[in-house]
Amino acid sequence: MKSRITIKDIARELSVSTSTVSKALKDSHEISESTKAKIKAFADFYHYKPNSLALKLRNQKTQVIGIIIPEIVHHFFSRVISGIEKVANQHGYNVMICVSNESYDKELLNIEMLANGSVDGLLISLSKETQKIKDFKHFDELIENNLPFVLFDRIEKTINCDKIIIDDEGGAYRATKYLIEKGCKKIALITTPAYVTVGESRKMGYIKAHQKHGINVAESLVIKIDKDDDDHDAIYALIKKLIFVKNPPDGIFAVNELYAALAMKVSKERGLRIPQDIEIIGFTDGIISEFSSPALTTVAQHGYTMGKHAAEMLINRIENKANGNFQTEVISTDLKFRESTLN
Amino acid sequence: MKSRITIKDIARELSVSTSTVSKALKDSHEISESTKAKIKAFADFYHYKPNSLALKLRNQKTQVIGIIIPEIVHHFFSRVISGIEKVANQHGYNVMICVSNESYDKELLNIEMLANGSVDGLLISLSKETQKIKDFKHFDELIENNLPFVLFDRIEKTINCDKIIIDDEGGAYRATKYLIEKGCKKIALITTPAYVTVGESRKMGYIKAHQKHGINVAESLVIKIDKDDDDHDAIYALIKKLIFVKNPPDGIFAVNELYAALAMKVSKERGLRIPQDIEIIGFTDGIISEFSSPALTTVAQHGYTMGKHAAEMLINRIENKANGNFQTEVISTDLKFRESTLN
DNA sequence: AGCAATTACGAAACCGATTTCGTGTTAAAA
DNA sequence: TTTTAACACGAAATCGGTTTCGTAATTGCT
């Protein structure tokens, strides 16, 4: 059960003090060349590596960034993480990832776990439950202890911190506008409950695009899915109610690719041709869209970029390179044309 | 720039020693009720939380599990992580995730980072490069320092540790056998280069199924994709060479869902009807298969289960509940029938 | 030769906790 | 009245490092 060798072991074996060992290993001028050589050789031989906990405690700096996300089996979030990881590593940071599972309690627990000295800063995307019950007191404590943190994607305006979001409203606006201008007369919206802010923003874009064209949005064309993303059957059933009607919509804008893909499935079963009878656009960073048939036109949201920028914002804060005021950065979207809309 | 309150602050403010504070907060019988009350009230008021680095250093126990995976934007691996996270949390552990990006150097770096006291144990899936160059010396050091670790999915037999794998060969065998028994005469295999062990095992299953039926596998029906998974176009081009020929295959077994989905795309473009003219089976834990059209029949590999079991194996090691010998657990697969094969 | 400067190292404080051991005070037992 | 035990707390060691400061021995300068 031998464990990793420590500086004390080296000191004892070579009959010098721990200070001498420490300095020798850092090539300090205070130590003679001969002693340094001896110590370095010994340390090398036994593969000495300083204990990182001890260093972190001493330096009051962990070089670790904590990430709290609602779920990890999620293409968008995993891209964000990938971007974070990239930038973090470039700056010598590691990442510690916690999953809130869309639960307020777990989010709170995670924050408490990570905020006790384990990390230098936090990157957080709010859980659905947190957005629903609107309780943000766990962030007050972060602010009190002035631990830097950045909210990304699922944010809350009233929290005083740096934020980074997708241009949800703009993306939805352009997608809807595109459908309107292609001649769609009945464009349905498949969205989330209102407490999911990104869904709400996208709905806003959908509405504004209609207003811009002087069209009144029929409430019957808007459905809110209050089901777990894993429960495809339940979502499917809700969408069916939208499409299996006398005069089905001739356009659909869905706030994520899952809804869009399921809408496409339902449409095909209803006998509608895509895109001739009904045009569909999703919102996503995903792969369902690419491989569904017909391939889905989507609002591409660039999660990798968001992750990179979020990490940069946070590291700037941690290293005090940021100016005083908190920023909110908006990542713009692209409309990616595929087969589910007419050329 | 006030920072988190420490036990020393409390001791100073209340004119007691740090030992008294520590004991009081742990409700020790050594401390009088009145003093305990006073200290607890003070600590509560200032939201005192012990510094976790100090605890970890003191206890020589981090309650953190390190995970090293080749990539994170990957449905299978994210499911594995999800399973790990679940079990780890149940046992009071957190997870720290590092990505090797399929690079040997980064894998080595990650291991060194995590093995210096940051974690109690490691869960590792080998990078492609590591499998290619077959250099496993970084694991020797883990063994020397006896830091528990478990290899999952992409493993190496010669490393002396616990391992957990998918029944790649068995899954491939049953999938291929199914195609043969459905009457396919020319079943192509789309696989990875040989150094990717999971690809090789699946190839073995494919071959054995043929042998079982006394069929010789034509080398021309086996293609190895040596392209980055992100480079869909390049993969597409390789698959095209397989299918755009005079007598195309009437069955395809692909070692992952990306290859299967792309093969389906190519087949459709070649004018082949799926599943009437060509039947396709993929190997996966993913979502492309579900939403592609026709939906793909696949060998389901249960990443979530693998993650849970891997975490359990590791925690048993960490907490010395495992018996002495190293185990290799095999997670079995299911053939999930969808539209890309005849009923 | 006498004094200052340099060299080479060790002692001790520190990071933030826990825990063992020691001790002064008080109350109960002899 | 003396002994003893219980009580309540503090000093110090510990985890594994880094860093400041102090100092003995040597060297350099006048």
DSSP assignment of B186-221, as one string? -EEEEE--TTSHHHHHHHHHHHHHHHHTTPPPPGGG
**Strand C: protein residues, Cβ closer than 7 A:** A 15-20, 23, 30-32, 34-35, 54, 57-58, 60, 117; B 3, 6-8, 18-19, 22-23, 25-26, 30, 49-51, 53-55, 57-58
Nearest CA in chain A to B138: A47
Mean residue pLDDT of chain B comes to 94
Restricting to A residues 262-301, those with a Cβ less than 8 Å away from any Cβ of B are: 265, 287-288, 290-293
Tokens of A227: 């089901």
Q: Closest by alpha carbon to A229, among A206, A204, A196? A: A196
pLDDT at B2: 59
Residues A13-40: what's their mean pLDDT?
95
pLDDT tens figures, A200-252: 999 999 999 999 999 999 999 999 999 988 899 999 999 999 999 999 999 99
A342 domain residue, yes or no: no
Q: Exposed, middle or buried by CB within 10 Å (0-12, 13-18, 19+), for A342?
A: middle
pLDDT tens figures, B166-197: 999 999 999 999 999 999 999 999 999 999 99
Q: Are residues A270 and A175 in the same domain?
A: yes
Q: Mark A258-297 as b/e (b = at least 16 C-beta within 10 Å).
A: bbbbbbbbbbbeeebebbeebbbbbbbbbbbbbbbbbbbb
Query: Terminal CA-to-CA distance of chain A, rounded, Å?
Result: 68
Restricting to A residues 152-211, those with a Cβ less than 8 Å away from any Cβ of B are: none
Distance between the alpha carbon (CA) of B53 and the C1' atom of C15, Å:
10
Restricting to B residues 2-21, those with a Cβ less than 8 Å away from any Cβ of A are: 2-4
The C-alpha atoms of residue B159 and residue B51 are separated, in whole angstroms, by 37
Poorest-pLDDT segment among A27-41, B182-196, B318-332? B318-332
Considering all CA atoms of chain A, what is the largest pairwise distance in Å, rounded to the nearest integer?
A: 91
A44 in contact with B at a CB cutoff of 8 Å? Answer: no
Q: What is the least distance, in Å, from the CA of A116 to any CA of chain B?
A: 5
pLDDT at B177: 97
* Cβ atoms within 10 Å of B222's Cβ, excluding its own: 16
Classify the C-alpha dihedral B70-B73-B78-B79 as positive or negative: negative
Q: Mark B169-188 as b/e (b = at least 16 C-beta within 10 Å).
A: bbbbbbbbbbbbeeebeebb
Q: Is the pTM of this model over 0.95?
A: no
Tokens of B145: 């320092």
3-state secondary structure of B46: coil
Contact B288 A293 (CB under 8 A): no
Q: Closest by alpha carbon to A101, among A139, A83, A81, A74? A: A74
Tokens of B223: 């293609």
Give the H or E element holding residue B122. Answer: strand B121-124
Q: Are residues B185 and B240 in the same domain?
A: yes
Residues A268-284: what's their mean pLDDT?
95
Q: Closest by alpha carbon to A250, among A218, A274, A216? A: A274
**Torsion of Cα atoms, B151 then B156 then B162 then B163, to 10°:** 60
Distance between the alpha carbon (CA) of B29 and the C1' atom of C26, Å:
17
pLDDT of B282 over the 70 cut: yes
**Strand D: protein residues, Cβ closer than 7 A:** A 3-4, 6-8, 18-19, 22-23, 25-26, 30, 48-51, 53-55, 57-59; B 15-20, 23, 29-35, 54, 57-58, 60, 117
Contact A131, A195 (CB under 8 A): yes
Q: Are residues B283 and B325 in the same domain?
A: no
pLDDT at A128: 95
pLDDT at A79: 96
A112 contact residues in B (CB cutoff 8 A): 49
Count of structural domains, chain A:
3
Q: Which residue type is seen at B127?
A: S
Q: Are residues B128 and B83 in the same domain?
A: yes
Q: Are residues B86 and B14 in the same domain?
A: no
B23 domain residue, yes or no: yes
B56 domain residue, yes or no: no
pLDDT of A1 over the 60 cut: no
Q: Which residue type is seen at B269?
A: E
Q: Are residues B208 and B218 in the same domain?
A: yes
Q: Are residues A100 and A152 in the same domain?
A: yes
pLDDT at B1: 47
Poorest-pLDDT segment among B33-42, B45-54, B315-324? B315-324
With tokens 């010994």, the residue in question is A42
**Residue A23 vs residues A27, A37, A61, A100, A320: alpha-carbon distances, Å:** 6, 12, 20, 43, 29
Q: Are residues A238 and A205 in the same domain?
A: yes
B143 in contact with A at a CB cutoff of 8 Å? Answer: no
Q: Which residue type is seen at A4?
A: R
Strand D: which nucleotides have any atom within 7 A of a protein Cβ? Answer: 7-12, 14-21
How much helix, strand and coil, in percent to the nearest 5, is found in chain A?
45, 15, 40
What CATH code is carried by the domain that includes residue A92?
3.40.50.2300
Residues B46-52: what's their mean pLDDT?
95
Q: Are residues A216 and A321 in the same domain?
A: no
Q: Are residues B185 and B144 in the same domain?
A: no
pLDDT at B230: 87
Q: Are residues A249 and A149 in the same domain?
A: no
DSSP summary character for residue B340? T
Distance between the alpha carbon (CA) of B65 and the C1' atom of D22, Å:
44
Q: Closest to A54 (Cβ–Cβ): which among B57, B96, B290?
A: B57
**Residue A61 vs residues A55, A57, A119, B106: alpha-carbon distances, Å:** 8, 7, 8, 23
| Angle, CA of B180, B186 and B190, to the nearest 5° | 95
- Range(s) of the domain holding residue B31: 7-50
Q: Are residues A181 and A272 in the same domain?
A: yes
DSSP summary character for residue A221? G
A339 domain residue, yes or no: no
Distance between the alpha carbon (CA) of A31 and the C1' atom of D30, Å:
30
Contact A116 B47 (CB under 8 A): no
A2 domain residue, yes or no: no
pLDDT tens figures, B216-263: 999 999 999 999 888 999 999 999 999 999 999 999 999 999 999 999
A226 domain residue, yes or no: yes
With tokens 């700096």, the residue in question is A61
pLDDT of A343 over the 80 cut: no
A220 domain residue, yes or no: yes
How large is the C-alpha radius of gyration of chain A?
A: 26
Cα atoms in the 13 Å half-sphere on the side-chain side of A280: 34
B343 domain residue, yes or no: no
| Cβ-Cβ contacts under 8 Å for A282 (sequence gap 6 or more) | A254, A256, A257, A259, A260, A261, A289, A296, A297, A298, A299
pLDDT at A2: 59
pLDDT at A321: 77
